[in-house]
Amino acid sequence: MTRPHDAPQPRILQLRELLDRANHAYYADGQPFMADSEYDQLLAELQSLEVAHDDHDPTSPTARVGGAPIDSFRAVPHSLPMMSVDNTYSEGDFRAWYGRCADSLGRPPAVTCDPKIDGVAVSLRWVDGQLAQALTRGDGQQGDDITANVRAIRSIPLRLRGTPPRMLEVRGEIYMPTSSFEAINESLEQEGEPLLANPRNATVGTLKNLDPKVTAKRRLAFLAHGRGACDGVVVAGYWDFLGLLRGLGIPVSQLTKPCLGVDEAVAAIEEFRARRAELPYAVDGMVAKIDSFADQATLGATAKSPRWAIAYKYPAERKETTLLAVAWQVGKGGTLTPRATLAPVTIAGTVVRHATLHNIAEISRKDLRIGDTVIVEKAGEIIPQVIEPVLAARRGSESIIVAPAECPACRGAVEPEAEGSPRLLCTNSACPAQFRERLKWFVGRGQMDIDGVGDKLIDQLVDAGLVRHFADIFLLQKADLLALERMGETSATALLAAAASSASRGLVRVLSGIGIRLVGDAAAKTLGRAFPDIDALLAATPESLEALPDFGAVTASTVVRVLHSEAMLEEIRRLREAGVGLTSPIYKPPPEQGSHPSGEVTPFAGKTVVLTGTLERFERQALAELLESLGATCPGSVSKKTHLVIAGEKAGSKLDKARALGVEVWDESTLIERLVALGVAIPGHA
């Protein structure tokens, strides 16, 4: 901070005010008056003056160049939950949503429509006008503290203009402009590095980087689209709230539109559909919100989504391009997946060079050939897919795509996954490409969750020979990491700490991560409830596993065969010696399985329960964990072994299948009655 006896120099004050106005004009008003080169020159001058006069203000524009790297991100609870918004894809469904709101309110309400930016949702808090905290959405209840990185984003004011409220919390979207994304990919391509998949993923990676200087370089931007907890803010509705934010210097979309009713809202959505391709950032629809905050409170929310808002998403954009080549990628389970190389084409704001082709049967069904002119779209505005060839454009020189006879990575044998299956497998369990992909899965968030170990680092570790087995991740030394390209002291320390923490996650995470075919999160939990540790599981027979909920003969025999293979036994030995925990934190001996704290066996004990549809009182994962604590198993699909289906609003194919199989179905009110009878406290239930 400035020393009390030293008033800021006039030129320092002048530059700070000028650069703050330049940021506001560029990001909030959309009317820049200064070239980037001039801004950079003035920023450098200000920085040198601040150093010379020992004048360091945390709200100065120079604070955005990025501070020292941080050790890690800490999780912080949200003051108010950050909920996701339900989607709709048709005008009829949109009108039905509006009709439900109008019926509940007893009158047709005003609506405000915002562009739906494809970025990263964040919550920003200013206290007495100064930026105090920035959190990611996380699980909606708590998020990662990314304040250090957000301070480096020029569009987010460090100090609010005018007379700010005592406390202001704003929800919005941080995104990467298309120009920045393409410039980064162009640089990566020149360096021979893997390209970033899309602007949203690139934004996530930038915000999760431990070095704020990376954020400062990548020119991320921000637009506000909602409110959190506030103190000293008095406005009646969302449109007026956006006006307040504009006056304080917080960027909001210039394309937001207030609408008096559903017809105006539909017209605004259709008008924006034609304009979105012109925008300098990715947008996949519009979010409509009932404008009045009082009406929003009346309408309330389900467990995950507000009833007063809905996202209208546009159909995927399609373009024509040329199919240049097909490469076969090897997955963690040995599956060979064809990947198309395309002549570059811009779709939904990003340049597409590759697309999935699914399998050889799909290639044959669509009659795709190398050299074809093809139609490509982005599914969900993210994943490019080849839809079909343009047959009228064929010249006769196109070549038929043939499935590989051997693995492109190890030259091992290739065979169908099962008789008649279109999916091809490399049968070599020692295939290096399989291990590389299995390792990327193993360290992922749903498995061992080793923060900071991404795909690029995995490639470096494998290529350097530092990791040949899963256990090697836990045996890395700081010197090993510092020898890698672009690895600093702080990142290496954080990675080693994350690996050490991951080692204690237990048997369930290990089983879901080591790549046993047919064993995902649900099957791993089933095994973890049935067996106290890896030794007990290794002693199990196929017959005992087949008796478990949702374990058929194929899954049971596969688990036993894979666990007793020479390669897997070696992996287990190495993990044990590396100190990785192989006991189950969710195991309960059979007599206690499904018991209430009173000792009484619950009606859910030993039952397979499937959840489907939208529930009002429960978040899906939290309910599954509650039922599992009462002895149930909660897989993701309905089968002949399913005992019960709990169906909320918009229940679809799972409910249809349950009815066809004659499975018992409860609605949410029946579930609540049964839980209350057991003495389980239900939020909001008297």
List, for residues 148-204, the tens digit of each pLDDT value.
889 889 889 999 998 999 999 999 999 998 888 888 877 766 655 556 667 887 888
Q: Provide the residue ranges of all domains of the chain, joining segments of one domain with +.
A: 10-65, 77-313, 318-416, 432-502, 507-577, 590-677
Q: Are 454 and 193 in contact (CB under 8 A)?
A: no
DSSP conformation class of 305: S
Percent of the chain past pLDDT 90, that is, above it, reads 39
- In the residue annotation, 116 being an active-site residue is answered as yes
Query: Comparing 10-65 with 507-577, is the CATH topology the same?
Result: no
How confident is the model over 522-550, as pLDDT tens digits? 788 889 988 999 999 999 999 889 888 77
- How distant, in Å, are the alpha carbons of 64, 195, 254, 536 from that of 248? 19, 38, 15, 62
The rounded distance, in Å, linking the Cα atoms of 297 and 318 is 40
User: What is the structure's pLDDT at 201?
Assistant: 78
User: What is the structure's pLDDT at 593?
Assistant: 43
3-state secondary structure (DSSP) of residue 295: helix
User: What is the structure's pLDDT at 372?
Assistant: 96
DSSP conformation class of 406: B
Residue 124's φ and ψ, nearest 5 degrees, are -115, 140
pLDDT at 4 over 60: no
- Helix ranges (H only) for 531-580 are 534-538, 542-546, 553-563, 566-577
In this prediction, residues 565-586 reach a mean pLDDT of: 93
The rounded distance, in Å, linking the Cα atoms of 194 and 541 is 44
Q: Outline where DSSP puts E strands in 578-681.
A: 609-612, 644-647, 664-666
pLDDT at 232 over 80: yes
pLDDT at 123 over 90: yes
User: What is the structure's pLDDT at 685?
Assistant: 56
User: What is the structure's pLDDT at 226?
Assistant: 94
The rounded distance, in Å, linking the Cα atoms of 626 and 245 is 41
User: What is the structure's pLDDT at 194?
Assistant: 56
- Considering the candidates 116, 257, 378, 607, report the single residue annotated as catalytic: 116
How confident is the model over 333-379, as pLDDT tens digits? 788 889 999 999 988 667 888 988 888 888 999 999 999 999 998 75
Which CATH number among 3.30.420.10, 3.30.70.360, 3.30.70.1140, 3.30.470.30 corresponds to the domain 77-313?
3.30.470.30
Q: What is the DSSP string of 90-117?
A: SHHHHHHHHHHHHHHHTSPPPEEEEEEE
| Count of beta carbons in the 10 Å neighbourhood of residue 570 | 12
Domain 590-677 falls in which CATH fold?
Rossmann fold (3.40.50)
Residue 387's φ and ψ, nearest 5 degrees, are -85, -50
User: What is the structure's pLDDT at 684?
Assistant: 54
Q: Which of 672, 639, 668 is nearest to 654 (CA)?
A: 639
- How distant, in Å, are the alpha carbons of 333, 362, 418, 425 from that of 421? 15, 12, 5, 10
Average of per-residue pLDDT values in the chain: 85
The answer as to CATH 2.40.110.10 being correct for domain 318-416 is no
Q: Are 43 and 23 in contact (CB under 8 A)?
A: no
User: What is the structure's pLDDT at 445?
Assistant: 75
* 646-652-654-659 Cα dihedral, nearest 10 degrees: 80
User: What is the total residue count of the chain?
Assistant: 686
User: What is the structure's pLDDT at 65?
Assistant: 56
| Pair type for strands 335-347 and 424-426 | antiparallel
Q: Are 342 and 323 in contact (CB under 8 A)?
A: yes
Q: Identify the burial level of 476 via C-beta atoms within 10 angstroms of its C-beta, where 0-12 means exposed, 13-18 middle and 19 or more buried.
A: middle
214 vs 307, more confident: 307
Strand order in the sheet with 87-88: 87-88, 309-313, 283-290, 111-117, 257-259
Residue 629's φ and ψ, nearest 5 degrees, are -70, -20
pLDDT at 265 over 90: yes
Average the pLDDT over each of 11-25, 264-278, 304-318 and give the range with the smallest value.
11-25
Q: Are 82 and 284 in contact (CB under 8 A)?
A: no
The rounded distance, in Å, linking the Cα atoms of 315 and 674 is 42
3-state secondary structure (DSSP) of residue 230: strand
How confident is the model over 553-566, as pLDDT tens digits? 888 898 999 899 88
In this prediction, residues 197-225 reach a mean pLDDT of: 81
User: What is the structure's pLDDT at 37?
Assistant: 67
Q: Are 20 and 33 in contact (CB under 8 A)?
A: no
Tokens of 170: 């704003």
Residue 28 pLDDT grade (very low, low, confident, very high; cuts 50, 70, 90): low
Cβ partners under 8 Å of residue 435, min gap 6? 462, 468
Location of structure tokens 């839809």:
387
49 vs 198, more confident: 49
3-state secondary structure (DSSP) of residue 288: strand
The rounded distance, in Å, linking the Cα atoms of 54 and 72 is 29
Q: What is the largest CA-CA distance in the chain?
A: 83
In this prediction, residues 583-595 reach a mean pLDDT of: 67
How confident is the model over 463-485, as pLDDT tens digits? 888 999 999 999 999 999 999 88
In this prediction, residues 237-248 reach a mean pLDDT of: 95
Axis crossing angle, helix 199-207 with helix 178-190, rounded to the nearest 10: 80
CATH top-level class for 507-577? mainly alpha
CATH superfamily of 10-65: Helix hairpin bin (1.10.287.610)
The rounded distance, in Å, linking the Cα atoms of 156 and 27 is 8
In this prediction, residues 104-110 reach a mean pLDDT of: 96
The answer as to CATH 3.30.9.10 being correct for domain 432-502 is no
User: What is the structure's pLDDT at 594?
Assistant: 43
The rounded distance, in Å, linking the Cα atoms of 495 and 454 is 11
User: What is the structure's pLDDT at 385?
Assistant: 86
User: What is the structure's pLDDT at 597?
Assistant: 43
pTM attached to this predicted model: 0.55
Average the pLDDT over each of 193-202, 206-215, 400-409, 419-428 and give the range with the smallest value.
193-202
The rounded distance, in Å, linking the Cα atoms of 187 and 193 is 9
User: What is the structure's pLDDT at 613?
Assistant: 83
Helix, strand, coil shares of the chain, percent, nearest 5, are: 40, 20, 40
Q: Are 174 and 240 in contact (CB under 8 A)?
A: no
The rounded distance, in Å, linking the Cα atoms of 488 and 260 is 55
202 vs 114, more confident: 114
